[in-house]
Structure 1
Amino acid sequence: MALEFRAVTKVFPTNAGTPLTAVSGVSFRVDEGEFVSVVGPSGCGKSTILSMTAGLYQPSEGEVLVSGTRVDGPNAHVGFMLQKDLLLPWRTIISNIEFGLESRGVPRAERRARAIAELRHCHLDGFETQYPYQLSGGMRQRAALARTLAIDPEIILLDEPFSALDAQTKLLLQNSFAKTIAEAGKTTLLITHDLAEAVLMSDRILVLSERPGTIIAEIKVDLPHRNEPIKRRVLPEVSDYAAQLFKHLKLEEKAA
């Protein structure tokens, strides 16, 4: 399932009375099964793009389409992972993974079977009856991914899901996520401030300007091992791509 933005602008009202334009004239496409990252300065509208994809905001101008159909509200085809895992502390891990299915009225036996399958897929076997406080940060994020995958979305939105983790846990989790998403064939859009992370995980990278965010560069990452960031990480070209991204962002900073 593909995702497309066509000349999208989003304007928010403010208490001061002067409207704030978050993004302006944004157009791009993410093909089925493709992994695309979006980088840019803080406040440039990256998270606004995810929210419009999920149908939480409507564009002020232009349109967002999923498989050719305009997104006019919350979209059942989209799974959204935020920086925080947002696991419910009073529910066990398996009950947390079932939550989205439960909300959709999926029968108990079916949702339990799907939750167990995703637990195994995300390497959380044996932690079904644990509570979130009993898991490490990395395990909690894997549980959040399992919860997202359990509803079987066609498109996965990732809003800096690794930003709060230490370097070692981050790399291991990037590898786990990349493999899981690739095996499931999911179309993925990642928001990140980590330029190396964008290179390690992506097929393409979109660079946004300062607010109002516009696309100032689109970079195809022509490297192997997209589904294994640990293997991609040792390639010397990775630093060249990161330097290219940094150059775009610094040039934009000077222009601003």
Structure 2
Amino acid sequence: MALEFKGVSKSFNLDTGQELTAVRDINFKVEKGEFVSVVGPSGCGKSTILSMTAGLYQPTTGEVRVSGELVTKPNPHVGFMLQKDLLLPWRTIIKNVEFGLESRGVPRAQRRERAMAELERCHLAGFENHYPYQLSGGMRQRAALARTLAIDPDIILLDEPFSALDAQTKLLIQNSFAETIMEAGITTLLITHDLSEAVIMSDRVLVLSERPGTVMCEMPIDLPDRAHPLKRRQLPEVHQHAAEIFTLLRLDQRAA
């Protein structure tokens, strides 16, 4: 088991003295190598789930386990990618990819070899000595993925990493990410507001309710070619799944 949430709730104390419950009684499991998306309305606790997986927050109640180990602090086996690539502008691309390894004290020759391997995997060989400003948005996101893969994570957390890209670039990068992550065999948890994206990228979609977020539905995505979202996008089942998720979210919104 790569990831398990067991009876997890998370509350925050506000400056007003009130308590805000972000998620309540979250239960789900993610198998090794599985790609799972989390969708739900704004404010339902999707990012809180990622932060607890990474060990940035601790649950108020319940347990979060990564590879069977209880998460009690930031976890070096979890890679985190946000909406922005957060590349350091004063470092070359290869130096950016090396950054996590450098922070862990990996010798220079070893981290350079590892960084070059990940740049090649992410189709960025030849751009290692460029600076971030010299790359397109899609290339910068691929560089951010290479940096994440370089630390050899057990799990990658993706917090809407494609949302800032234009439509054409988004499709291409989704395909590139899917191929790369599946080739690496890495367990992945994606947050997105794009229901079609959730369907074409995933083995399974978790649908969260309005805040406090609970798992309303776990929808298996039994479609071929997970490594090729562009092919999946052409299947009529994609629209059917997306419509089912949309209906669930609308019914929950009306009930709230």
SS of 2:106's equivalent in the other structure is coil
Residue 243 of structure 1 deviates from its aligned partner by 0.3
Distance in 1 between residues matched to 2:19 and 2:209, nearest whole Å: 19
Which residue of structure 1 lines up, in the alignment, with residue 20 of structure 2? 20
Q: Percent identity?
A: 75
Which residue of structure 1 lines up, in the alignment, with residue 238 of structure 2? 238
SS of 2:125's equivalent in the other structure is coil
User: What RMSD over aligned residues (CA atoms) do the two structures have, in Å?
Assistant: 0.6
Which residue of structure 1 lines up, in the alignment, with residue 185 of structure 2? 185
Task: Letter of the 1:167 partner, please give it.
Answer: A
Which residue of structure 2 lines up, in the alignment, with residue 89 of structure 1? 89
Residue 236 of structure 1 deviates from its aligned partner by 1.0
Task: Letter of the 1:205 partner, please give it.
Answer: V
Which residue of structure 1 lines up, in the alignment, with residue 253 of structure 2? 253
Is 1:43 the counterpart of 2:43 in the alignment?
Answer: yes
Distance in 2 between residues matched to 1:252 and 1:168, nearest whole Å: 32
Deviations 1:166-211 (A, max 9, x none): 1110010000000000000001100000000000000000000111
SS of 1:210's equivalent in the other structure is coil
Which residue of structure 2 lines up, in the alignment, with residue 223 of structure 1? 223
Which residue of structure 2 lines up, in the alignment, with residue 149 of structure 1? 149
SS of 1:176's equivalent in the other structure is helix
Distance in 2 between residues matched to 1:154 and 1:56, nearest whole Å: 17
Which residue of structure 1 lines up, in the alignment, with residue 127 of structure 2? 127
Which residue of structure 1 lines up, in the alignment, with residue 109 of structure 2? 109
Task: Letter of the 2:12 partner, please give it.
Answer: F
Residue 47 of structure 1 deviates from its aligned partner by 0.3
Distance in 2 between residues matched to 1:8 and 1:192, nearest whole Å: 21
Deviations 1:198-254 (A, max 9, x none): 000000000001111000111000110111001111111110000001001100110
Distance in 2 between residues matched to 1:68 and 1:147, nearest whole Å: 25
Task: Letter of the 1:38 partner, please give it.
Answer: V
Deviations 1:36-61 (A, max 9, x none): 00000001000000000000000000
SS of 1:216's equivalent in the other structure is strand
Distance in 1 between residues matched to 2:100 and 2:194, nearest whole Å: 29
Residue 161 of structure 1 deviates from its aligned partner by 0.2
Which residue of structure 2 lines up, in the alignment, with residue 170 of structure 1? 170
Question: Where does structure 1 lack aligned partners over 5 or more consecutive residues?
Answer: none
Task: Letter of the 2:86 partner, please give it.
Answer: L
Task: Letter of the 1:182 partner, please give it.
Answer: M
Which residue of structure 1 lines up, in the alignment, with residue 6 of structure 2? 6
SS of 2:21's equivalent in the other structure is strand
Which residue of structure 1 lines up, in the alignment, with residue 205 of structure 2? 205
Distance in 2 between residues matched to 1:21 and 1:61, nearest whole Å: 11
Paired residues, number = 256
Residue 6 of structure 1 deviates from its aligned partner by 0.3
SS of 1:207's equivalent in the other structure is strand
Residue 125 of structure 1 deviates from its aligned partner by 1.2
Distance in 1 between residues matched to 2:155 and 2:49, nearest whole Å: 14
Structure 2-normalised TM-score?
0.99
Which residue of structure 1 lines up, in the alignment, with residue 59 of structure 2? 59
Residue 150 of structure 1 deviates from its aligned partner by 0.3
Distance in 2 between residues matched to 1:106 and 1:126, nearest whole Å: 23
Distance in 2 between residues matched to 1:113 and 1:248, nearest whole Å: 47
Runs of 4 or more off by more than 6 Å in structure 1?
none
Residue 25 of structure 1 deviates from its aligned partner by 0.3
Residue 77 of structure 1 deviates from its aligned partner by 1.0
SS of 1:163's equivalent in the other structure is coil
Deviations 1:88-140 (A, max 9, x none): 01000000000000000000000000000001000011111111111111000
